[in-house]
């Protein structure tokens, strides 16, 4: 995941004015087959095979793009040239909210101009940009003014971000898509935390006074939604008598029809079921507001959302045996299908001892299909070897595009460090480059038909881990015959 910052500085060309390039108007759109992408004017197929350019490899702590693109613009230019030379055609950059919005109604014009410079750099290298916004990856940098906003006011501040960014590129062919946010999550209770816990924290001064830091990739929404939940329930049931009849556990001690409690342990199934419906509605409210902000200034570019694999309630026996708790984000592609142009999902196959969750990872990709393209927006070969090779090969029948990662070092530079982790990254970059060049058909992709279709209700899976495991077990039996399960997830 990751990001950007300031005006013309550091060994590159000066920022250009916003607006379309000489090839104005030939933007990427969804093809008539509802599976591939194409250029709108030329009709040429476009298969996205790209990288997340989210941070560098500085020690002891990596830097987000905004941390270094002012002073090290020449490095950014070189990185984009290397990304293109490796055979990739899209770069996913992660824009940090506080770098572009200084306060309510206060866009940072210098940083927006720097983003213009990045767009033109991409174009010169034959690359498109997947602009992922609203990042709060450094939780210590979350602006106090934003953290103190109520849910609706925060949503409006986020909408202002998208209006400021998207208004600059309404017909620009260098933009692949707008990704509303990386890994959003409807928080199931109340919290002051705008983001989740940091991933891979490092301590920049060792045992010194500065605390350990890291990147927080999961973004919480509706952090104080108690009143919204009460209003939602009142709207559904209208009277206290109707609610008493529907919920066997209403009222709980201290609860009233004007202050309705969220579900807890041992809540009635109906209360829990309604709360899931409420969170799906909340995710749609937020997504609809962000889409409206973009569409008010840009009617053409594609819009997506960076979903975790926890946007689909699948779980396998390996995870259950490891006592892993499924964290369901409520941003479900099945509930957002009318709002997004395509689905982006993040899937990381990993190992449990000698076994892997590759079957489950394939199942998530298949389940993410809701009648529009599916892009595997983040992946990494954590399992390596034959299992990941199978996952990569089979993904050609289950997704419409791919993104992995590039962190600013070429394979040669990585190997020159002499470390095993960097050698592994170098091997993967070369393997992924070969995949992009030789194994992805440039004329478009065909979604593999399923040999077996198993109906699976999202609602039922949310209530029962055994049901999720049983479904995955059935999928594995099909996978052993080298066929995909194609879940029909019913709302």
Paired tokens of 307: 């979903």
Average pLDDT in the 356-372 region? 93
Q: How many CB atoms lie within 10 A of CB 252?
A: 14
The shares of helix, strand and coil residues in the chain, as percent rounded to the nearest 5, are 35, 20, 45
Average pLDDT across the chain, whole number = 91
Residues 6+ apart with CB under 8 A from 143: 97, 98, 103
Whole-number pLDDT of residue 431: 98
Q: Give the number of residues written for the chain.
A: 491
Identify the three-state secondary structure at position 356: strand
Paired tokens of 310: 């926890």
| Closest among 42, 26, 17, 38 to 120, alpha carbons compared | 17
Average pLDDT in the 52-73 region? 94
Residue 469 lies in a domain: no
**pLDDT > 90? residue 444:** yes
Percentage of the chain lying above the pLDDT 90 cut? 81
Q: For position 172, which CATH number holds? A: 3.20.20.80
Average pLDDT in the 78-99 region? 98
Burial class (CB in 10 A: 0-12, 13-18, 19+), 15: buried
Whole-number pLDDT of residue 12: 31
Residue 307 lies in a domain: yes
Residue 482 lies in a domain: no
| Closest among 151, 150, 149, 169 to 103, alpha carbons compared | 149
Each residue of 296-332: pLDDT tens digit? Answer: 999 999 999 999 999 999 999 999 999 988 889 999 9
Residue 459 lies in a domain: no
Alpha carbon distance 315, 37 (integer Å): 31
Show the beta-strand stretches assigned E in 264-421.
Answer: 302-308, 343-346, 351-352, 355-356, 374-378, 401-405
Paired tokens of 267: 């809540």
**pLDDT > 80? residue 1:** no
Structural domains of the chain, count? 1
Q: What is the pTM of this model?
A: 0.93
Residue 23 lies in a domain: no
Neighbour-count burial for 327-360, b at 16+ CB within 10 Å, e otherwise: ebbbbbbbbbeebbbbbbbbbebbeeeeebbbbb
**pLDDT > 70? residue 464:** yes
Residue 105 lies in a domain: yes
Each residue of 345-356: pLDDT tens digit? Answer: 999 999 999 999
Q: Is residue 455 very low, low, confident or very high in pLDDT (cuts 50, 70, 90)? A: confident
What is the torsion angle, in degrees rounded to the nearest 10, for the CA atoms of residue 21, residue 24, residue 25 and residue 26? Answer: -80
Average pLDDT in the 95-101 region? 97
Each residue of 172-217: pLDDT tens digit? Answer: 999 999 999 999 999 999 999 999 999 888 888 888 888 888 999 9
Q: Is residue 485 very low, low, confident or very high in pLDDT (cuts 50, 70, 90)? A: low
- What is the separation, in whole angstroms, between the first and last Cα of the chain? 30
- Residue 363 domain boundaries: 28-246+273-450
Residue 487 lies in a domain: no
Average pLDDT in the 477-487 region? 66
Q: Is residue 390 very low, low, confident or very high in pLDDT (cuts 50, 70, 90)? A: very high
Percentage of the chain lying above the pLDDT 70 cut? 93
Which single residue is written with the structure tokens 């399923």? 450
Residue 13 lies in a domain: no
Burial class (CB in 10 A: 0-12, 13-18, 19+), 258: exposed
Whole-number pLDDT of residue 22: 40
Whole-number pLDDT of residue 490: 43
**pLDDT > 90? residue 125:** yes
Whole-number pLDDT of residue 208: 83
Half-sphere exposure of 67 (CA within 13 A, CB side): 13
Q: In this structure, are residues 315 and 468 in contact, taking their beta carbons and an 8 Å threshold?
A: yes
Q: Is residue 486 very low, low, confident or very high in pLDDT (cuts 50, 70, 90)? A: low
Identify the three-state secondary structure at position 388: helix
Average pLDDT in the 264-289 region? 96
Burial class (CB in 10 A: 0-12, 13-18, 19+), 31: middle
Q: Which of 89-103, 299-313, 394-408, 448-462 has the lowest mean pLDDT?
A: 448-462
Each residue of 129-178: pLDDT tens digit? Answer: 999 999 999 999 999 999 999 999 999 999 999 999 999 999 999 999 99
């Amino acid at each position: 995941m990751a990001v950007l910052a300031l005006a013309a500085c550091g060994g590159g060309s000066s920022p250009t004015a916003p607006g379309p390039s000489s090839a104005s108007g030939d933007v990427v759109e969804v093809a008539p087959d509802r599976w591939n992408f194409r250029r709108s004017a030329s009709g040429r197929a476009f298969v996205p095979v790209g990288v997340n350019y989210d941070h560098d490899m500085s020690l002891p702590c990596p830097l987000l793009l905004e941390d270094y693109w002012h002073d090290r613009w020449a490095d950014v230019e070189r990185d984009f040239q290397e990304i293109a030379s490796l055979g990739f055609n899209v770069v996913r950059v992660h824009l940090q909210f506080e770098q572009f919005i200084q306060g309510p109604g206060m866009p940072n014009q210098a940083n927006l101009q720097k983003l213009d410079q990045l767009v033109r750099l991409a174009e010169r290298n034959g690359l498109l940009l997947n602009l992922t916004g609203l990042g709060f990856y450094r939780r210590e940098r979350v602006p106090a003014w934003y953290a103190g906003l109520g849910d609706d006011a925060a949503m409006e501040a986020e909408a202002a971000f998208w209006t400021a960014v998207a208004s600059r590129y309404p017909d620009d062919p260098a933009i692949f898509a707008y990704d509303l946010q990386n890994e959003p999550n409807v928080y199931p209770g109340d919290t002051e935390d705008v983001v989740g816990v940091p991933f891979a924290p490092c301590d920049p001064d060792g045992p010194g006074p500065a605390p350990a830091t890291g990147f927080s990739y999961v973004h919480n929404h509706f952090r104080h939604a108690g009143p919204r939940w009460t209003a939602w329930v009142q709207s559904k049931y209208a009277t206290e008598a109707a609610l008493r009849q529907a919920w066997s556990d209403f009222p709980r001690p201290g609860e009233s029809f004007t202050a309705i409690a969220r579900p807890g342990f041992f809540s009635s199934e109906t209360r829990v079921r309604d709360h899931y419906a409420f969170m799906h509605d909340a995710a749609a409210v937020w997504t609809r507001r962000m889409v409206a902000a973009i569409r008010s200034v840009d009617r053409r570019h594609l819009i997506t959302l960076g979903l975790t694999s926890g946007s689909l309630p699948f779980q396998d026996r390996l995870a259950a045996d490891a006592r892993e708790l499924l964290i369901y984000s409520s941003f479900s592609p099945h509930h957002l299908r009318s709002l997004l142009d395509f689905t982006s999902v993040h899937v990381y196959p990993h190992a449990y001892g000698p076994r892997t969750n590759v079957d489950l990872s394939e199942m998530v990709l298949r389940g993410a299909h809701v009648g529009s393209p599916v892009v595997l927006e983040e992946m990494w070969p954590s399992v390596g070897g034959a299992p990941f090779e199978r996952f990569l090969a089979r993904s050609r029948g289950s997704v419409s595009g791919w993104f992995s990662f590039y962190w600013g070092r070429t394979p040669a530079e990585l190997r020159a460090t002499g470390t095993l982790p960097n050698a592994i990254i170098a091997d993967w970059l070369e393997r992924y480059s070969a995949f992009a060049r030789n194994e992805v058909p440039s004329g478009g992709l065909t979604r593999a038909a399923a040999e077996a279709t198993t109906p699976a209700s999202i609602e039922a899976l949310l209530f029962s881990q055994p049901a999720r495991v049983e479904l995955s077990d059935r999928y594995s039996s099909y996978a052993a015959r080298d066929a995909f399960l194609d879940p029909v997830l019913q709302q």
